[in-house]
Amino acid sequence: MKVSVALCTYNGEKFLNEQINSILKQTKEVNEIIICDDCSTDQTMDILKEYQLKYPNIFKIFKNETNLRSVKNFEKAIQLCSGDLIFLSDQDDIWSPNKVYDYILFFQKNPKISVIASNGYCIDENSKSHKKYAVWDIPRFLENKGIEFNFHRLISLSGNIATGASMAFKKEIIPDIIPFPTIQNFHHDEWIAIISSSKNQFAFLHDKYFYYRIHSNQQVGGVFYKKNKSQKTILIDLFNIDNPASNFTGYKRRIKKIISNFERNSLLEQSNPKYSFLFEKNKKELINLYHYNKTLMKNKFPLRFFLLKISDKILNKRKFDY
């Protein structure tokens, strides 16, 4: 089984060596590393050329003529991969040594699965670990509470729990996921997770297989949270949308999230005729969830619900036009 890595770079000189070295030190070696550089102006290309000289049979480097930005750059890199399995890689993280080996083993034991994502560790700019809750903990939180869910509803109706830095997929799914939609604040990893989970081909591993770096230049935030009971309750409330929230604020956050997800699904429906049926269905479910949660909120907190309704009307908040 041939393994490719699709790695995208842009001004990544500071952490690039750590990321690449962690890929080269895998217990199951990769066959090729496809790198698409998005017009870096620092020493990124010089670093990459050194690796290419040292490992000419593994490294294939492509420099974009114009800046494609992250989503379309990954789309390009994926299409250049020739492997049976394709791992996505950011430029500033670190892989655990057994990541490739364990993913391959999981694919072999679960032939119906086409896409895998996993949990990960939190590190800072100095590669120091931090104990945090992450969006990747949410499936485990729900399972531990005995809450049933499926990944497509979770990701489409609540929020993304699959990060590209943790992803690997079979080459055969590429026609289903490419081209990636270009919607503001919507990324390729979420798209891959939505489409693969709609086909019941998505799996999530609770073990941690990568070190995700947080720093001032990070493109995607909102991944890590304080590790305390209060934050855990907030995360469960946000993603457990089919059951009552734990408090009034939980309903407020949840309803805001439902409205936001409805808008996102509307944009996806408009931009993807092939999957418009999928997002139309999601929108109907979100409308039902909106009314369901508003009813629960009203019944449990009648006075506060009444006051919030007046406040929202005055401030034009939590407005839901569908």
Ordered DSSP codes for 71-134? HHHHHHHHHH--SSEEEEE-SS-EE-TTHHHHHHHHHHH-TT--EEEEEEEEE-TT--EE--EE
Q: Which H or E run contains 142?
A: helix 138-144
Reduced to 3 states, what is the DSSP secondary structure of residue 17?
helix
Q: Are 205 and 117 in contact (CB under 8 A)?
A: yes
pLDDT attached to residue 321: 82
Reduced to 3 states, what is the DSSP secondary structure of residue 302?
helix
Look up the pTM and report it.
0.95
Cα 289 from Cα 239, distance rounded (Å):
12
Cα 177 from Cα 196, distance rounded (Å):
8
Cα 74 from Cα 169, distance rounded (Å):
13
CA distances from 251 to 59, 100, 215, 322 (A): 50, 40, 31, 20
Give the mean pLDDT per block of 10 residues along the chain (322 residues): 98 98 99 99 98 98 98 99 98 98 99 99 94 97 96 96 98 98 96 98 99 73 88 95 95 95 96 96 98 97 95 86 82
pLDDT attached to residue 322: 81
Full DSSP string of 144-213 = HTT----HHHIIIII-----GGG-EEEGGGHHHH-SPP--TT--HHHHHHHHHHHTT-EEEEEEEEEEEE
pLDDT attached to residue 217: 55
Burial of 18 (0-12, 13-18, 19+ CB in 10 A): middle
Cα 28 from Cα 51, distance rounded (Å):
19
Query: Hey, what are 88's tokens?
Result: 């996505």
Query: Hey, what are 57's tokens?
Result: 């049979």
Q: Which residues pair with 281 in a beta bridge?
A: none
Query: Hey, what are 47's tokens?
Result: 């670093």
Reduced to 3 states, what is the DSSP secondary structure of residue 240?
coil
Query: Hey, what are 286's tokens?
Result: 């979100």
Question: In one letter, which amino acid is 60?
Answer: K
Q: Are 75 and 179 in contact (CB under 8 A)?
A: yes
